[in-house]
A and B are shown apart, each in its own frame.
Chain A
Amino acid sequence: MSTQTNSIDIDRNIGNFFYNIAPTRDAGVGLTEKTIDYIVDAKREPEWLREFRKNAYRVFNSKPLPTHWAGNELKEIDFDVIRYYLASGETAKRTWEEVPEDIKRTFERLGIPESERKFLAGVEAQFDSEAVYSNIKKAVADQGVIFMGSTDALKERPELFRKWFGKVIPTADNKFSALNSAVFSGGSFIYVPPGVKVKHPLQAYFRINAENFGQFERTLIIADEGSEVMYMEGCTAPKFTTATLHSAVVELIALPGAKIQYITVQNWAPNVFNLVTKRGLAMEEAEIKWIDCNIGSRLTMKYPGVVLKGRKSRGEVISIALASDGQHQDTGAKMVHGADETTSNIVSKSISIGKGRATYRGLVHVPKHLKGCKNNTECDALLINSSSRTDTYPAITVRGTGNATQHEASVSQISAEQIFYMQQRGLSEGQAMSLAVNGFVNDLVRQFPMEYSVELKRLIDLEMEGSVG
């Protein structure tokens, strides 16, 4: 284990800095129809989108905050003080040299250009509301792969975009998908042509720089027949005294035989409300896998899902959540079986530290008329302190006789004797905790690409450091 305190002190604040950048476009504070007009005009969007957004705004207003089943923390969000659109430029640049100096410096500090050189097939970097940089390696683009910001995709590939946009997650899915549909900006658009297997991951990095701001990216990934793609997203924001809102909508479409892997590692500052809707549609023999790691934020509500629409399609959610003091990770998965011989797998591990709270919410639905469907659900919770909390709400509906489900749940604690044992070998109490927690999630961490699993281990070490005593 390479856990020197030196590097840790720098890493602890890896996302916690910001530059004073005056945006050239600012929709102002609060949300009204005028905010939407401002966004549509600033982005020079078509009229159908203005109508789409305004309808979504009405849906957003008509839906109550889901405090009846989710946390009361949601009431802390003041929608009237948030800024909904902030941008500095019009289109994403193709080279880092063209990106404005302070913004470029931000991403350099986060190590994005370096990772791009090392192992990525393409990178998109979003700063507040818009992508500032977007580039795909020539060899990948030459295969017909499209990777650009959603703002650019709307202009350059309107038919393709509109065909699938909002089809997996309708506006009225929930209050926050409606909010996103009303004010979305940024996010990635990916199209992989039939049979093309993108060898290296495509990555997007979402950075919030401004205070009192809401980031509402919209990502749409379409993997055409028999294609394969891996997408990774990372997110950070500086630690402000006021709440920041991040509410994305991500839609994946895996056409017959396609494979999509979507990997998230987020390390939000503890004042961020992260309310995200993510869902994929898997056609015949297609496979969608969400690998999701939630660290940080004030409250995260996120339940990646797969609609298994085609025969023999497969859906998987692998998730790790780490809830520290003052944080609530309300995460889980949704698997909706819609065809015969579909299989789904959910493996969720959560760690609650101090007064942190982790909630697993799962929904698995297999209707009566289907045959040969399988679901496996495993959720394991680890409680670090006696004040830590975990809740599990698995809702599994499997009807019919030809379907099988398996559900396992466990709650464990790191015992004082384990810590003593490790301390006797020379590890400090914090290092011992950290090692035990890393061991708990180890089998899941191994599913992340190398670069991310190293980062993940480091983040866990950081979170554990302050948890003992």
Chain B
Amino acid sequence: MSSIVIQDLHVSVAEKEIIRGLSLEFSKGEVHAVMGPNGSGKSTLAKVMAGHPDYQVTEGDILMDGESILEMEPDERSRKGLFMAFQYPMEIPGVSNANFLRAAMQARLPEGEELDAIEFYQRLHEKMDLLDIRREFTARSVNEGFSGGEKKRNEILQLAMLEPAFAVLDETDSGLDIDALKVVANGVNKIRGPEIGILLITHYQRLLNYIIPDFVHVMSEGRIVRSGGKELALELESKGYDWLKERKGEPVGAN
């Protein structure tokens, strides 16, 4: 089964260890949620998976379909099928959303092959309709002057267009009001299915009211401290993250 396997991962940023022996596995067709308090290393996990240059893996491995991705450049990981939705998507002034997506899709084609412009726009419009995005959007510069909700919706549109095998959504719910949250969650639900494995990183349980995960993992101090089904999220919601501290030292499971 096609999967991402994270084995005993240790990650440092500027000499400081943030992730300390994290193991996790998720497969295509599954939605996993990683929850945890601020500073538990959730966003670090997303960035290190995507290959951000500031994060050093000091121990352990990340395997995608059995192959280590640690030596790969971020763009190679992307083309192999790993997508990350950013917590803070970057603005690219002067580059339209359509051109950006075209460039990203062109980069996936074998050398010498040209992206078919008509097919591209058909597909783009189809996905935009799916996510309830208006047509003017294509001509606007990537994320420039976008509201928080628009930026996150744009991340989901890119996800829908690139059709990765695995997607890591880094706090996609942060900074969204309830309406925007529903729209984004609705988009993810339309994309989820047997062809994609999703890792949802979130601080709050509320996102999981709209995207029901298959598995929930709780992260604390750079490790997964608890794993379970979707009910774990509710338990966490009612008891708070402090509840975890009391349970420290118990066996750690990666489903």
Contacts and interface: CB of A to CB of B under 8 A. Distances in A.
Contact of B112 (A4, A417, A422, A423): A4
Interface string A425-450: 11111011001101111110000000
Interface string A393-433: 00000000000000000000001111011111111110110
A426 B90 contact: no
B158 interface: yes
A416 B103 CA distance: 19
B74 A442 contact: no
A4 B75 CA distance: 16
Most buried by B among A416, A427, A436: A427
B89 interface: yes
Interface string A1-35: 11111100000000000000000000000000000
Interface in A165-189: none
A76 B178 CA distance: 66
A381 to B, nearest CB: 14
Interface in A255-285: none
A426 B75 contact: yes
Given A423-B74, A423-B75, A442 B94 contact: yes
A426 B104 contact: yes
Given A425-B100, A428-B75, A2 B106 contact: yes
A440 B91 CA distance: 12
Contacts of B107: 425-428, 431
Contacts of A428: 73, 75, 107
Interface residues of B, number: 36
A420 B94 contact: no
A6 B108 CA distance: 16
B157 to A, nearest CB: 12
A432 B107 CA distance: 11
25 contacts: A1-B99, A1-B103, A2-B106, A3-B103, A4-B114, A6-B112, A415-B90, A420-B52, A422-B104, A423-B73, A423-B74, A423-B75, A424-B50, A424-B83, A424-B84, A424-B86, A425-B100, A425-B103, A427-B75, A435-B92, A435-B100, A438-B95, A439-B92, A439-B93, A441-B94
Given A435-B92, A442-B94, 17 more contacts: A1-B99, A1-B102, A1-B103, A415-B90, A420-B52, A421-B92, A422-B100, A424-B86, A425-B75, A426-B104, A426-B162, A428-B107, A438-B95, A439-B92, A439-B94, A440-B93, A443-B94
Interface of B: 50-53, 73-75, 77-79, 83-84, 86, 89-95, 99-100, 102-108, 111-112, 114-115, 141, 158, 162
